[in-house]
Structure 1
Amino acid sequence: MSATALQVISSARAPRSDGVEARQRLLYAALALFAAKGYAKTSTREIARSAGVNISAISYYFGDKAGLYAATFGEPMGGNAGDFVSLYAAPELPIEEALHIYFTRMIEPLKQGEIVRQCIQLHLREMLEPTSQWAKEMERDIKAPHQAIAGVLCRHLGLARADDDVHRLTFAITGLAMQLFVSQDLVDAIRPSLLNTARSVDAWAQRLTGYAIALVEAEVLRRQAAAPAKPASTPPRTRRKKT
């Protein structure tokens, strides 16, 4: 086989870097526009122009506008929530390790700066102007992680199923991570050093794990205090011998 033929085969098998770059430009151009204007008011022509690619690239890489919109929710924030859940929901993990994995992966996107701001803006806009994507986001990225954390807590507390207080505790724990995303601008205004480097984000993961464990320990003590006291056992009565 000639050297020219080998070169052609090699180039055909190798992924094209320009294709990967074009897809990424489309994804992030769409993210910025969808976050700023919403799904209905953003045209595919506008996205393609902003990304500097032909409009046909949208159908090639994402199928259609709806497929591109769906991709802007998952990919910039780290991908499939199901893969994320499987990392910390394993039943053999001690609770502290499970929560540390949860917080580490959950706040990892904060290292991306402006991109994660656009992601939060997109999610908030979707809440206010819901499309068919909202139901998918609710099931995959909101309910599934919540149920997994509730399961971790049930195993630690020795419960067969989550009661109202387990769900309260789950919302409190997951809220520790979510407030960082929602409060980025406040953190930047008050103490920018808390989020301006990858190391500072990693420090948050460590601290949030400790805060969450403190919440869990408080719930353990609350349940112990609320448990009904066991009646003291009385010694068996002895018969008196007749004289």
Structure 2
Amino acid sequence: MKKRIVFVLSGIFLGSVCILLALYWPADIADIKDIRPEIGKSALHLLVVSVIGTIVSLLVFEYQQERQASEKKRDQQQKQFEYRESLLISVLSRAANAYSRAKKARRMTRAHMTLTGTTRQLSLAQYDVFFDLINEAQLELENLKRDIRTISKTITTPENLIEKLHTMDSYLRELITEYEDSRQKFIGTLLTLPISDFPLLDNYVRPANSSNFMFEMIKPYSEIQAAIRKDLLHPNLP
């Protein structure tokens, strides 16, 4: 479009110059001499109008191009912001889901333990329920670590999040390892065992201020929440 306008302007300019040269070229015919001034004025007028019109057209064209480019850039930035926001919300939601399952397993195990005198007893059925919840939470954390590496450019401190998730993941893995090694303790008609036979689980279900749960789950999860919410409050891409 821009090239067409320049081409038309050049054509008008050359045409006007040719007309002016033809008008003011020496001639002996009196009638032509008389009308030359008027034709010259008309040609000059046409040239001025054409030049001004072409310049205005160029300016309008440039303005429209810049406006379209600005709108396109703004749309792209908006899409990037919305995409980044959805990713961050997804990370926060998945981390919360894993943490909730781990906490649910803790509460359910405490609630369903029985007492024999002062000894807390754990049933095989409850141990299996506990493992199912912990296993789901651990798998979610493991997948989340991998996914954060994939979307690391959308997060301000991805390595920090991965480190916190790794802390939580490793803690649950140890519980799972204990489950795999200790479940066989339930043999024959032995349906319950003292919780003390499962040291990691015993520590896990204690009150938070006397359990590793505080340092291995609660604090890392709180830091993950804070980091993601900070990114959500600052929409500029890192």
| TM-score, scaled relative to structure 1 | 0.25
Higher strand share: 2
Q: Which has the larger radius of gyration?
A: 2
Higher helix share: 2
**Superposition TM-score, scaled by structure 2 size:** 0.26
